[in-house]
């Protein structure tokens, strides 16, 4: 439990401010308290033409180990907009965000600009850093003079409900 405290303290200043969460509905710390083993198939499945069924199970997969690399720096963020639709991110999808990773060009990130959280693709070029929306109906974000971009974390996985 004491390993979790630094992460809570670190984000507490942001959560106590009157922040408008335009692209983010909620932020929750991940506390993997259970180990659920899910069967892991040996064969990959075609997404196109069906192939003969394979009944081979290779091993059991612990979803916590598979999705979370640094539990004290990992959060679940719930999405509130369609700005990343073409990246497969929809409203109410949950993103697994790792704050311990250094963001690279092309990463999908949770960023803080002017007390506002947003989810965008980080672009780094000769002019500096900017945030790309993955939906043509939304504008890219280019920083104006005096604006500060804080990369809050890197999105590592998207959790999406496929059955409604």
The catalytic residue positions are: 83, 120
8 Å CB contact between 123 and 129: yes
Handedness of CA 35, 36, 39, 40 (dihedral sign): negative
Cα–Cα separations (whole angstroms), residue 142 to 23, 66, 119, 147: 16, 34, 14, 9
Positive or negative, the Cα torsion across 61, 67, 69, 72? negative
Three-state DSSP at 47 gives coil
What is the Cα–Cα distance from 18 to 38, expressed in whole angstroms?
A: 41
């Amino acid at each position: 439990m004491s390993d979790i405290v630094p992460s809570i303290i670190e984000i507490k200043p942001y959560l106590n401010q009157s922040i408008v969460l335009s692209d983010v509905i909620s932020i929750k710390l991940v506390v993997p308290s259970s180990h659920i083993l899910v069967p892991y198939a040996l064969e990959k499945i075609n997404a196109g033409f069906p192939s003969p069924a394979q009944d081979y199970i290779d091993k059991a997969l612990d979803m916590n180990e598979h999705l979370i690399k640094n539990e004290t720096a990992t959060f679940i963020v719930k999405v509130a907009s369609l700005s990343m639709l073409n990246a497969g991110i929809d409203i109410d999808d949950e993103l697994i965000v790792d704050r311990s990773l250094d963001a690279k060009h092309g990463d999908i990130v949770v960023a803080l600009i002017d007390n506002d959280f947003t989810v965008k693709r980080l672009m780094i070029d000769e002019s500096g850093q900017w945030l790309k929306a993955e939906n043509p109906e939304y504008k890219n974000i280019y920083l104006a003079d005096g604006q500060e971009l804080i990369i809050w974390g890197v999105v590592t996985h998207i959790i999406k409900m496929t059955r409604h």
